[in-house]
Amino acid sequence: MVAPEAFTQETTSEHAQRAWTMFRDWGSPQYWVAPMVDQSELAFRMLCRRHGSTAAYTPMLHSRIFLEDRGYREEHFTTCEGDRPLLVQFCANDAATLLAAAKLAQDRADAIDLNLGCPQRIARRGRYGAFLMDDLPLVERIVRTCAEGLDVPVTCKIRVFPELHKTVEYAQMLERAGASLIAVHGRLREQKKSKGADADWDVIKAVREAVSVPVLANGNIRTLHDVHHCLEYTGCAGVMSAESLLEDPALFSPLRLQPGGDFKGAAGPKLLLEYLELAEQHPTPMRMVTGHAFKMLGHWLPEFTDLRDQMNKQIPGFGIQHMRGIALEAVRRIEASGRDHAVPKISERALARMEAEAARAAAMEEQGKEDRLLQKLQAMRAKQQMLSESQTALVA
């Protein structure tokens, strides 16, 4: 495994020197919790940190809504002692809006991150994430504005172009604009599924060799062996995980490499029980709790279909105590079975269809929520405009 000391190479770039000083001040963290909408919230970050993660991103935050809606800020951005290093990630397509939103968060963060990697339909509609790859001058303007206007560093998370040289030039532009760290997801914008085509570590390595600031690798991280292989192959300063970490929040734990430390048997339900305790300490919306429960119990739900039904059809008042009962029952059944693997009652094809339907429903719900918030803000602006015009008429 590549040691952090290997990245203390001399450079003539003052910006790069500051970037590496920043990274070392953070403790040269190698194991990163990726930014995930509704799934890298405080309780989950603290669970991952407890089990080996050394740095984390917040969920992706919508810069305009974050700036204008206090309720959105209070629900989606919470932190606590021990939740550092922490990068606050925003999606944005306007430099002034992002700068203003970031200023509301910078005092509780180590850096502000610009999402340039989200490939989902919601990002296409909102013209942010990976769809800003179509307007690189705008990207450069956003990064430069924030790098010059914030008290904390600016970082970026990107996807790659089909052409290697375009990806390298993209990363170099971000560095020149002021990005102090670049996270590279080694998949194209069109490759939305992390379990689909393999991420291209060669592209990530090429970016790392072409820029002078720290680079994080993202993609093909399913085990701790993968983490170490990726660090050695790419030479990156760190590795981040999203989907695999959702299933196994202890992915980065050294125990995963020791005899008997594999993620199997009742490991998932037991991690869920830990998470539920943290979700009580750091109040978490049940939609987020439920999402994590499905991931951590996922290997067993094809067998325990009744527990899956309870989670899908939550009774009125369903809360953390109900979810704790489901997790405890899963542990009891697994340990009584004497098996470390499930015996599915439904086919893999049917399960995949159900998961795809759930993902579509979640995406539609998130889009609807965003649309409703934006409509609310527009209505408030219209009302303020009417009041202003009325006051002007009275004065006249």
Residues involved in catalysis: 118
* Alpha helices per DSSP H over 59-198: 63-68, 70-76, 95-105, 121-126, 136-149, 164-177
Measured between its terminal Cα atoms, the distance across the chain in Å is 73
**What contacts 328, CB < 8 A, 6 or more positions away?**
269, 273
207 with 175: CB under 8 angstroms? no
Q: How many CB atoms lie within 10 A of CB 282?
A: 17
Tokens of 366: 């998130």
Burial level of 175, CB count in 10 A (0-12/13-18/19+)? buried
Strand partners, 160: 188
Give the integer Cα–Cα distance in Å for 263 and 247. Answer: 9
Name the DSSP letter for residue 189. T
- Closest by CA to 298, choosing from 342, 335, 338, is 342
Q: Give the single-character DSSP code of 315.
A: P
Beta strands in the chain, from DSSP E residues, in sequence order: 31-33, 55-57, 61-62, 86-91, 111-116, 154-160, 179-188, 215-218, 238-241
CA-nearest of 31, 112, 44, 30 to 83 is: 44
Q: 54 and 31 in contact (C-beta within 8 Å)?
A: yes
Based on DSSP, count helices (H) and strands (E) in the chain, helices before strands.
16, 9
Phi and psi at 116, nearest 5°, equal -120, 20
CB 69 within 8 A of CB 373: yes
Whose tokens are 């050695």? That residue is 232
CA–CA separation, 177 and 313 (whole Å) = 49
